[in-house]
Each structure stands twice: as C-alpha cells, then as structure tokens.
Amino acid sequence: AEDARIGYPPARVWGCPTTAMWVYRLGAEGAKRMLLTGDLATGAEAKAMGLVTDAVPADGLDARVEELAQRMAGVPKNQLMLQKLMINQAMTNMGLETTQMIATIFDGVTRHSPEGMAFKHRAEEVGFKQAVKERDSGGYLDELWPIRTGPVQYE
C-alpha cells in the first residue's frame, strides 16, 4: 500500500538484513542510503526507488492483489515455473546466494557485537519498545547504552 512503512530499522543496531535484495533492487548507493540509516520509506517512496513493483491506496490493496493473482493464474504452470527458474538462476549467477550467506553471518555478528549486546541488555532493562525508541532516536549510542566490558553475565 502507498502508506506502508518499508525498511530495516535493526540496521541501526542489532541486525543485518539476510537478504541481498536491497542491493539488487536499489543498487549499491540506494541500499547504502537505506541500510546505513535504518530509515523507513512509504510504499509510494519504495515504488519510486524501485524497491517494490506497485503501491496502491490501502483501500484498494486487496483488489489489486486479487487482480494480479488472477492475471498470473491465466498463465500455464510450466510457463510460470520456467520463467521463475530463469530469473532465479540469473540472480544466482549475480551472486545472490553467496551474498545472502554472508549477510546471515553478519546478522549474527551484529547481534553479538558489543553494541548489539548493549541493545539486548537495554531491552531487558526497559522493555523492547523503549529500547527501539531509544535506538531510533538518533542519539549517540554510547550515551544511551554504555558498552559493557567483560563477559556477559546470565542469571
């Protein structure tokens, strides 16, 4: 929908998107713009950027989805399968699977980095919603969550 909110806020602290589609859809500069800020875009903005293929008013979303599904339903299954396989193979040839594997590793690293652990501890202290609000405030991380040194103590 045009008013959808699309982005990856955990890119600020505590996450790396495990899909490389940001780069493939937005190019390197567009992906950096979204992932180095963690900002959200509306559905209309995401369409203009090329992140999504369509954005319609929310009250017309169900009808648009049904229209598209009916259009695809009119194409023989073997055509759908072969077209999808060809597109997916092209993405594989461009390195999608390797990039996604690396991104999955990086996601784990970001969650267990000092900053990621500070976020986790802050969420435990004040609740997840408050920790996210603080993370997304744009404040300097060390002032919000002093990074703890030494081994993590679990109770």
The pLDDT tens digits for 62-82 are 999 999 999 999 999 999 999
pLDDT in tens, 128-147: 999 899 888 876 566 666 66
Task: Write down the pTM of the prediction.
Answer: 0.77
- Is the pLDDT at 115 greater than 90, yes or no? no
Q: Quick one: which of 53, 10, 31, 44 has its CA closest to 99?
A: 31
**What pLDDT is recorded for position 139?**
64
φ, ψ for residue 6, nearest 5 deg: -125, 130
Each residue of 20-60: pLDDT tens digit?
Answer: 889 999 999 999 999 999 999 999 999 999 999 999 999 99
5-112 is a CATH 2.40.50.140 domain:
no
Break the chain into its structural domains and give their ranges: 5-112, 113-155
Closest CA to 56 of 64, 48, 66: 64
Of 45, 43, 21, which Cα lies nearest the Cα of 94? Answer: 21
